[in-house]
Amino acid sequence: MFSLFLLFLLVGFVIHLLVRHFFNKKNFVDEPDGVKKQHDMAVPISGGLSFGLSYSLFIFACLLLLYFDFDSFFNVQIPSESFGSNFPFFSFIILILLSLVLLSICLIDDLVSLPVWVRLFTQISCSVLFIQLGDVSLINLGALLGEGEIILNEFIAFIFTIFCIVGVINAFNWIDGIDGFFSSQVLIALIGMIILIGEISVIFLVFLSAILPYILMNLGLFGKKFKVFIGDHGAMMIGFLFAGSFVLLSQEPEIRPVDTLWCIGLVLLNAFRVMWKRLVKGISIFSSDREHIHHYFLDLGYSSRETLIIVSFFSLIIFAIGITFSILEIAESISFFTAIGIFLFWNLFSKSIYKKLKTRKESLQSSK
């Protein structure tokens, strides 16, 4: 299995390099503007398409190795157990196919700027099709209030699931603001899923082999010449994959629904606060602003790398709290209300904390 991972990883790098070259040649790049986009050069937005091509190709290859005998040719076999126990094959394939649809529409949006309603309509449509074709929805929310499980009727569960999937899609897109922030949250979510499931299936290895080339290139570890961005299309595809996977996982009897929230704790925290601020201002939740958590630290004068370290540290703390609750099997209601408490604290006090830090930093600079 490890040799297959290395092969996929190598192919993944080749795909990322080829797609990056094509995007750069066609000038499909993200230009700096000195305000929101503070990178110092035009960067190809090829990471999302490269990931989508790699991931779908690797999954298809694994399915071929699973269902057909290539042992005499490649000496490689993938037993069905490698996908994990009770793996929902059909629902997962539907999820991947729909994620490619979302990737395609959002890629067009990245290149020619489609109206916002087209992007939202695509997200909702993919969510509806996943629920209907995959035959899954958030019916059981667990014992969030401490007295028995909360079971939704089919219609409410249908609407609630759409809201959650679309919310997670956009939440992942909103954290794609500085190099490494999106990647760090993807890795944390992936680790969280592994811990919840209790095994490393081939799905995780395939995902890692497809996303790792992007992470290394995005962080500039191969130099600025090979730097790439994920693009909205890539962030939304990955957000959709995680959202769908969490919906599937949360309805498994051995996994508590509330535990899946902690895997993307900071992603949701940032999204909830951004939406709340925009609603209070009376503007569209899809408007651009500088209310994201990474903007706070950038505005305080921290570099992108320093900001990445700070927000990643916060994210790991939130993740550790939730996973500890899960491992120790602390009551779901305590876990849920702890999450609500963290959100309320951040929403009520983050602005005042930011102002105090800014004032203190300005006073220190003036005293020098």
Burial grade of 172 (CB within 10 A; 0-12, 13-18, 19 or more): buried
Burial grade of 302 (CB within 10 A; 0-12, 13-18, 19 or more): middle
Mean pLDDT for all residues in the chain? 85
Say if residue 72's pLDDT is above 50: no
Amino acid identity, residue 345?
A: F
Read off the pTM.
Answer: 0.89
Say if residue 244's pLDDT is above 70: yes
Lowest model confidence (mean pLDDT) among 1-5, 109-113, 165-169, 333-337: 1-5
The residue ranking higher by pLDDT, 304 or 169, is 169
* pLDDT tens digits, 267-295: 998 888 888 878 888 887 777 777 788 88
Mean pLDDT of 16-36: 85
Whole-number pLDDT of residue 362: 67
User: Cα separation of 260 and 165, whole Å?
Assistant: 13
